Structure 1
Amino acid sequence: MRSANLKDFLDVKVEEYNQPGFIANDPVSIPHVYTKLQDIEITGFWAAILAWGQRVTIINKCKELFTLMDNDPHNFVVHHSENDLASLLKFKHRTFNDVDTLYFIEFFKRFYTEHNSLEDAFLKGLRETDENIENSLIRFHETFFDIPDAPHRTRKHIATPARKSACKRINMFLRWMVRDDNKGVDFGLWKGINPAQLVCPCDLHVERVARKLHLITRKQTDWQMALELTSHLKEFDPADPVKYDFALFGLGIEEKF
């Protein structure tokens, strides 16, 4: 069993960072602008996928993107015309370019034409008895690219455990959608995934702090490392291990721990 002192320390940090003041400077602020389920899902998913680099840049690029959709993303992806797409051709963030943007819109149009919630795409591969969301993420990747002309280059933006990725961005998105603790940061909109099945997002800050605290021993930054970290966090709270993402991330980026 991990040190009770470490649990107490991390619990304090969770309370410190898992509160509305955290939102403004984090990409989670993007979906918080919206109230409609599908708008929250679309903007949350996109904000998570674009989440690399400085947080202020990520937030500004997301605002730019959704302004191009008249800040009505669900309506835009479902009902846009070809002419409406022209303005999106100039959007780019790091290696995410117009090809990727147009394919995301195509996927969302196809998906929301048949489904009410993006949660359905993550439930396809998930069993209630699954210890974690590995099968869900693998099946989601397959669903996202289930048409023959899906651009190969866009696959690098949707991680999957099948390629041993730590899947940081999608794990972060799932934390936003699934966790429901009434603290105001995570949305808790999806009820089909158990918070105990979530895997901790492992960005550079989280990984660095987790190694300092001896919560990770695996050298590679991959899916097994994410599972190792989550397994240790479950010793502190088996029902909601990913809440400690707030503590690890806050220690890493705010306190330079």
Structure 2
Amino acid sequence: MLKFEELKIFLDEKADQYNHPDFIENDPIQIPHRFTLKQDIEIAGFLAATISWGNRKAIIKSAEKMLDIMGNAPYDFVLNHSEKDLKSIENKSIHRTFNGEDFVYFMKQFSRIYHENQSLESLFRLHESETSFLHSVERFRSSFLGAEKHRSHKHVSSPYKNSSTKRIIMFLRWMVRKDKRGVDFGIWENTGQQYLSIPLDVHTGNISRKLGLISRTQNDWKTVEELDAVIRKFNENDPAKYDFALFGLGVTKELL
């Protein structure tokens, strides 16, 4: 097992290696990178993150399908679509269990939210004493989904139910994290990146266990918190940069 200092040096090197513009081309983050308007980036990013499970090529293809439906102008579509536009989408297949009905539901929620808010950032605002996005994600979930039960609710995970909420945590990294590498957007300037977590999935979970960063066997919210405690010691101002290291090591199978 590597000592703390050795582990930090190793992970810093790996984060440096993978946090590079080349990363964009094979990752779902390429979808929001097609836009410059903040709201386009948020909507395209949230949709791409929502369907981010399974093969990355398939995710990108499905996300492109959604962009096509929106005429490659997500914000304009969200604000100005007609009922007829939505009706024609309902029976489309989009990505695995995320279907046309879910897409329509998301469009309606986005429309309501963007008529009341300039940016999704205001729905994720941290309260003063908070040091993670646990409560913020849950508050967002409540305002995004509304009270009425719908099949789409399963696509927006809840940390209160001990889900790792990997896809929302990844979306938050994209929006909040700021450096000069050009992968993450850093467009939410009122949100502190020191509170970001690592999006925990099979890859990052397995690599984290292999390196002795976590001991829990499930990939759930408690494990996200266990990993937080360690990575924040490596870099208290930018803990989420280690997502590049862990994900990169997982994909390349370098440690197997």
Is the TM value for this pair above 0.5?
A: yes
Given candidates 205, 210, 222, the residue that maps to 2:203 is 205
State the identity as a percent.
46
The CA distance in 2 between the partners of 1:239 and 1:2, in whole Å, is 21
Residue pair 2:113, 2:144 contacting (<8 A) in 1 also: no
What is aligned with 1:38?
39
The correspondence of residues 179-218 of structure 1 with structure 2, limited to 5 A, is 179-218=177-216
The CA distance in 1 between the partners of 2:33 and 2:248, in whole Å, is 19
Shift of 1:68: 1.1
Residue pair 1:19, 1:183 contacting (<8 A) in 2 also: yes
The reply to whether residue 155 of structure 1 matches residue 153 of structure 2 is: yes
TM-score by length of 1: 0.95
What is aligned with 2:133?
133
The CA distance in 2 between the partners of 1:246 and 1:97, in whole Å, is 30
SS in 2 for 1:5: helix
SS in 2 for 1:224: helix
Shift of 1:56: 0.3
The reply to whether residue 60 of structure 1 matches residue 58 of structure 2 is: no
- Runs of 4+ in structure 1 deviating by more than 3 angstroms, as ranges, are none
Unpaired segments ≥5 residues, structure 2:
none
What is aligned with 2:236?
238
* Matched residue type, 1:208: N
How many equivalent pairs are there?
253
Q: Over residues 27-52 of structure 1, what are the superposed CA-to-partner deviations in whole Å (9 max), with x where a residue is unaligned?
A: 00000000000000000001001000
TM-score by length of 2: 0.95
Given candidates 94, 97, 100, the residue that maps to 1:95 is 97
The correspondence of residues 101-116 of structure 1 with structure 2, limited to 5 A, is 101-116=103-118
Q: CA RMSD in A?
A: 1.4
Of residues 78-87 and 46-55 in structure 1, the stretch that sits farther from structure 2 once superposed is: 78-87
Of residues 139-148 and 73-82 in structure 1, the stretch that sits farther from structure 2 once superposed is: 139-148
